[in-house]
Amino acid sequence: MSMQGKVALVTGGTGGIGTAICKKLAAAGAKVVATYIGDEGQAKDWQAKMAADGVDAMIVACDVSSFDDCKAMGDTLNAEMGGVDILVNNAGITKDGTFRKMSADQWNAVLTVNLDSVFNVTKQFVDGMMTKGWGRVINISSINGQKGQFGQTNYSAAKAGMHGFSMALAQETAKKGVTVNSVSPGYIGTEMVMAVPEEVRNQIVAQIPVGRLGKPDEIAALVTFLASDDAAFITGANIAANGGQHMC
Q: How far is the CB of 162 from ligand NDP (least distance, A)?
A: 9
Length of the chain: 248
Phi-psi region of 83 (alpha: psi -120 to 50; beta: other; left: phi over 0): left
The site map against ligand NDP for 93-112 (x = CB under 6 A) is x-------------------
Choice between 121 and 231, CB closer to ligand NDP: 121
Q: How far is the CB of 129 from ligand NDP (least distance, A)?
A: 21
Site for ligand NDP in 4-63 (CB under 6 A): 11-12, 14-18, 35-38, 62-63
Between CA 232 and CA 71 the distance in angstroms is 28
Q: How far is the CB of 109 from ligand NDP (least distance, A)?
A: 9
Between CA 209 and CA 74 the distance in angstroms is 42
Residue span binding ligand NDP (CB under 6 A) among the ranges 1-9, 97-105, 165-173, 185-193: 185-193
Cβ-based neighbours of 88, under 8 Å, separated by 6 or more? 8, 9, 10, 11, 13, 18, 21, 25, 138, 140, 223, 227
Choice between 14 and 235, CB closer to ligand NDP: 14
**CB of 69 closer than 8 Å to CB of 11:** no
Q: How far is the CB of 155 from ligand NDP (least distance, A)?
A: 7
Q: Is 192 in the site for ligand NDP (CB under 6 A)?
A: yes
The active-site residue out of 155, 183, 216, 224 is 155
Q: How far is CA 194 from its chain centroid?
A: 20
Task: Kindly state the DSSP code that residue 30 receives in the 8-state scheme.
Answer: P
**CB of 107 closer than 8 Å to CB of 154:** yes
187 catalytic? Reply is no
Kindly list the catalytic residues.
155
Contacts with ligand NDP by CB under 6 A lie at: 11-12, 14-18, 35-38, 62-65, 90-93, 113, 140, 142, 185, 187-188, 190, 192-193
